[in-house]
Amino acid sequence: MKKLAIKGGSPCCNTTTHPWPKWPVWGKEEEVALIEVLKSGVWSYNGPREKEFNRLFAQYTGVKHAICTVNGTITLQISLEALGIGLGDEVILPGLTWQATAATVIDVNATPVLVDVNQDNWCIDPKEIEKAITAKTRAIIPVHLYGAFADMDAIMAIAKKHNLYVIEDCAHKHGGEWNGKKAGSIGDIGSFSFQLSKHLTAGEGGAVTTNNSKLADRLDALRNCGRRPQTDAFNYDKGAGDYGDDDGNFIQSGNLRITEFQAAILVEGLKRLPAQNATRDANGEYLNTLLERIPGVAPIPRNKRETKKAYFNFAFRYSQDEFKGLPIDKFRSALEAELGILIDASYEPLNNCSLYVPHTKPSRHKLNEAYWKAIDPKRFLLPNCERIFKEESVCIHHKALMGTTADMDRIAIAINKIHTYAAELMD
């Protein structure tokens, strides 16, 4: 009789009797807040809920300024624009990240330079950053990936040495801390996403954070049709005034604003975030101790300087040699069948990513032959990124970490079961 669920055996987790926690989380608070916004008639454009969230998120992140935008892709784009980065400039970023991290660089006509990641935590390797710096380099975008933090001590030292900007991609790290400082408060600008899968969400949305008031003014203008911040946020018909650049001129941009409905949800979600992060952290730490006992799997190590954890997904490493040569895609499918929850790979490396294909848009990106060649992602060698994606990465949605220790036990039992009966999957 077959033992593994994918072969007809009984799964380790019966999701009918023991369902996984739901995501997103919401309650009466969101319902009341949304109705209040509906009845107010103020549905967007610097409304009171947006102002409240900006204030609360800045306070929570430990920065002077937080500014909401339409999504976490735009946060990166306007960050680059606010820093004056464009044609002729290079921006260094990891090859293992969501495609938007690189796509926004070419959207401002700069050149993304992809570098490899550390094998242990899958975040950008500072040594590879140093190797990639040229006279054209203007910025570094470290990505805090899944449950790990990029080495911000090393990155900030490199940036200081070479006079470079640092834009933290914090789409996976709301509330995480490095040496007691929140993600998004260490670099020049922090970029956050509130897309549905993120652990602070309004379905869509994003925010930028900074301690630089001049940058904050530029960022605010860029997300609000080029207008400078104004005191009377509800005077929709107001023309000139306190808008534009330092000389009072308008800035070319578009409507990249969030709605009051989204801001209302974010205000309530932010209240839940610290407790949710603490639950995920405790369960993640416990699950890591279980994984350490299972041959062929290894937890992502936690750096001692990471003083507060924030998981986007729970990720771990897999070695097929310890599972009788079982390919990783078969392992992921078997684990998914045992647990009744999606098991995924890491992001595709950007040098061979189906969603990062700049050469499909020649009318937009073929500025000249040299630039066209420079933005070809296939020119970069990313051996660690490729090995992690193809052979090692296993990722579980962070909602699994919002369960109980018994749920963590079930995950470990399922992995052990596949290890024991891996031969069933080899025929």
Would 353 be classed as within a structural domain? Answer: no
For 8-60, the pLDDT digits (tens) are 999 999 999 999 999 999 999 999 999 999 999 999 988 999 999 999 999 99
Would 349 be classed as within a structural domain? Answer: no
Upper half-sphere CA count for residue 212 (Cβ side, 13 Å) = 17
pTM: 0.94
Would 43 be classed as within a structural domain? Answer: yes
What 8-state DSSP symbol labels residue 124? Answer: B
For 206-236, the pLDDT digits (tens) are 999 999 999 999 999 999 998 876 533 433 3
Q: How confident is the model at residue 244 (pLDDT cuts 50, 70, 90)?
A: very low
14-37 burial string, b = 16+ CB within 10 Å, else e? eeeeeebbebbeeeeebeebbeeb
* Phi, psi of 223, rounded to the nearest 5 degrees: -90, -5
pLDDT of residue 248: 54
Would 77 be classed as within a structural domain? Answer: yes
Would 242 be classed as within a structural domain? Answer: yes
Lowest mean pLDDT, pick from 26-35, 178-187, 225-234, 380-389: 225-234
Would 360 be classed as within a structural domain? Answer: no
pLDDT of residue 251: 81
Q: Residue 98 is part of which domain span?
A: 28-269
Would 328 be classed as within a structural domain? Answer: no
Would 134 be classed as within a structural domain? Answer: yes
Task: Say how far apart CA 42 and CA 21 lie, in whole Å.
Answer: 34
The CATH number for 154's domain is: 3.40.640.10
Domain count of the fold of the chain: 1
Q: Where are the alpha helices (DSSP H) in 100-190?
A: 100-107, 126-132, 152-162
Q: Where are the alpha helices (DSSP H) in 41-109?
A: 48-61, 72-82, 100-107
